[in-house]
Structure 1
Amino acid sequence: MLTGLHSPLQRRRILLQLGFFSLFVLAPPLDLFRLDLNLGHFILFGQPWTLGLAAFQAGEIGAGQATLNLVLRGLLPLLLVVGGGLWVAWRYGRLYCGWLCPHFSVVELINGLMRRASGKPSLWEKQPLPSLQPDGRQLRPDRRYWPLTLLAVFGFAFLWALTLLTYLLPPAEIYPNLLHGELTRNQFSFLAVATALFSIEFLFARHLFCRFGCAVGLFQSLAWMANRKAMLVTFDRDRARQCLDCNNACDNACPMRLKPRTIKRHMFTCTQCASCISACSEFQQRRQRHSLLTWTDGGTPRDRRDSSPIQLYRPASRGRLQGGAD
């Protein structure tokens, strides 16, 4: 989404997303990490990463050394990655999704372009979002953005397909074959099918996949929900009336189409992107006030799990604010 681009917090988040997306694309050609199906093992920092079973089968090492290899090269790295990821999610929620995930960064980019083209961040949105932005700018739909939106959809779909292929086969083979039009039948089929599937997903079901189809996101959300003191976005109910002159800026800013002022269990798929916080901050700063949304621990007095949803906006005033009145 476009909200919060002037916020230092959102600028830092965008830089992290760009850096991690670049790492995601460049890791295979730089041999930082990939699975080489031709060789039958992983490549890590340019070196083969195997479990050492071939040496055991060849009689070069004993059962004890083979067991140690399985623990050190297989089980331990898996526990560190999975355990560390679940601990971060348990403590901070889906922080990886909102701040690093290369898929979610594409989701937000296409959301923003689609909103510029149609006024809606997705094809399934019932009504266009207000044109008045939290910082006072007007963002009116412009159909000229549709070609750019479609270019982003198909371009990122192809980039994702190509990148995934290089995680499985040597990039030194894939890129020259692509440039010279000499892809094998299997390589071409993989790129064609994967590009088509990603194009459909990016065009129609971006945040829906993040909410309902991503296993990584699901396990992060489950870990987060299990911790009553996990970090979450909380709403200052004592100042709730300050929402009356707002056009739901926090709701409009959420790329997952959630309601940030509601209870925690309704925020199950929150990515901690803080777009809602930035939107509220921008709106309230124009009125010399502080944001009503903040990151806090779940155990604070304003813990929303035992509270009812907040809906203070005036439906009658939404149209007026959409039209650009301050």
Structure 2
Amino acid sequence: MQRRRLFFQLGFFALFLLAPALNLLRFDLHEAQLWVLGQRWSLGIDAFRAGEISANQAAIQIFVRAFLPAIVLIVAFLGVAWKYGRLYCGWLCPHFTLVETLNTALHRACGKLSIWDKHRTRRAGVQPSARWWPVFFTLCAVFGFLWAITLLTYLLPPAEIWGGLFSGTLTPNQARFLGAGSLIFTLEFAFARHLFCRFGCAVGLFQSLVWMANPKGMVVAFDRDNARDCRTCTTATYPQGSACDNGCPMRLHPRNIKRMMFSCVQCGQCLDSCEETRTAQKSEPLLEWKVGADAVRETLRQRKAEREAAAVLERNV
């Protein structure tokens, strides 16, 4: 599954970088022109000004060419999130692809997935080394610059931006945008990439809100009847135990209840870690995806367990 996910991530990342150059999607500020799939996307306003169409025809064209595609795209996107959660984040999002890449580099530098982590995450065959710090910060700077110049090519002709960069003929505004954007994105990648995914990204936030509102949405179900088996949960990658927790790139606890998994990106790494452990023990995995009626039953079971735990706590107090 992780190989398939990597294939989707790399493919969409390449599409994100190449879309402006191929005119698949960009808005040219010079011409005030939107390009979609290699074609100029017109709302018909120029034809109305020239008297070629009536006001009613212009209104219909604006609705059909602007509002209707936007509504269909948003409904389809949120429809996927309603059933599967932040599937876009874990399987396609270019930013999250960089998050995972930087996690790996930082882990080799200090044994942590974030500078702000209090404890190290041990991985077999990985011995933290200070020589990886320059690699980590160099990657942050390169990705920050790449992010800034790519976003600028969505607004101005890519040939103009890249040509101006190599020939040193960028305009002052273009240079300021690249400088400020590169700095901001570099700092974000280095110090706040997980925080951005959790709280700063509107795309991810709306996916999570829609998913949380659907009791039938796909969840990671945990077989609590065999929870004691987690004491011996180790894999070749995570020999210290808690493989599902240590394998989560968002640093969540997959065995937790749904409302504590708000920023889960459905990457499935926790499931793979659990399956690896249980396969070695010749038993069934304790974690699996549930959707539909099975997800509802899992949610009800989680709520029941939460109420029971609260009741025990209240009695002890």
User: Which secondary structure state, in structure 1, belongs to the residue aligned with residue 195 of structure 2?
Assistant: helix
**Which residue of the partner structure matches residue 236 of structure 2?**
none
State how far apart, in whole Å, the 1-side matches of 2:195 and 2:256 are.
19
Q: What is the aligned counterpart of 1:232 among 209, 213, 219?
A: 219
State how far apart, in whole Å, the 2-side matches of 1:82 and 1:44 are.
17
**Which residue of the partner structure matches residue 310 of structure 2?**
none
Alpha-carbon distance change, 171 to 256 in structure 1, aligned in 2, over 3 angstroms: same
**Which residue of the partner structure matches residue 114 of structure 1?**
106
User: Which secondary structure state, in structure 2, belongs to the residue aligned with residue 43 of structure 1?
Assistant: strand
State how far apart, in whole Å, the 2-side matches of 1:229 and 1:302 are.
9
CA shift at 1:283, angstroms?
Answer: 2.2
**Which residue of the partner structure matches residue 167 of structure 2?**
180
State how far apart, in whole Å, the 2-side matches of 1:227 and 1:125 are.
31
RMSD: 1.4
**Which residue of the partner structure matches residue 76 of structure 1?**
68
User: Which secondary structure state, in structure 2, belongs to the residue aligned with residue 233 of structure 1?
Assistant: strand
Match status 1:161 vs 2:148 = yes
- The amino acid of 1:242's aligned partner reads D
1:69-125 C-alpha deviation (Å, 9 max, x unpaired): 111110111011111001000010000000000011101110111111110000010
User: Which secondary structure state, in structure 2, belongs to the residue aligned with residue 42 of structure 1?
Assistant: strand
Structure 2, gaps ≥5 residues long: 234-240, 307-317
- The amino acid of 2:144's aligned partner reads A
Higher-RCO chain (CA-CA 8 Å, sequence separation at least 6): 1
**Which residue of the partner structure matches residue 93 of structure 1?**
85
Q: What is the aligned counterpart of 2:250 among 241, 250, 256?
A: 256
CA shift at 1:308, angstroms?
Answer: 4.3
CA shift at 1:143, angstroms?
Answer: 2.1
TM-score by length of 2: 0.90
- The amino acid of 2:28's aligned partner reads D
TM-score by length of 1: 0.88
**Which residue of the partner structure matches residue 264 of structure 2?**
270
State whether residues 232 and 298 of structure 1, in contact with CA within 8 Å, keep that contact through their aligned partners in structure 2. no
Higher normalized helix content (fraction of residues): 2
**Which residue of the partner structure matches residue 313 of structure 1?**
none
**Which residue of the partner structure matches residue 241 of structure 1?**
228
- The amino acid of 2:259's aligned partner reads R
State how far apart, in whole Å, the 2-side matches of 1:140 and 1:81 are.
45
Match status 1:302 vs 2:298 = yes
Structure 1, gaps ≥5 residues long: 1-8, 132-136, 310-326
State how far apart, in whole Å, the 1-side matches of 2:180 and 2:283 are.
51
State how far apart, in whole Å, the 1-side matches of 2:56 and 2:15 are.
37
Q: What is the aligned counterpart of 1:284 among 253, 270, 278?
A: 278
**Which residue of the partner structure matches residue 4 of structure 1?**
none
> Where does structure 1 differ by over 6 angstroms across 4 or more consecutive aligned residues?
none
State how far apart, in whole Å, the 2-side matches of 1:120 and 1:157 are.
21
State how far apart, in whole Å, the 2-side matches of 1:283 and 1:180 are.
55
CA shift at 1:46, angstroms?
Answer: 2.0
State whether residues 24 and 102 of structure 1, in contact with CA within 8 Å, keep that contact through their aligned partners in structure 2. yes
State whether residues 236 and 302 of structure 1, in contact with CA within 8 Å, keep that contact through their aligned partners in structure 2. no
**Which residue of the partner structure matches residue 64 of structure 1?**
56
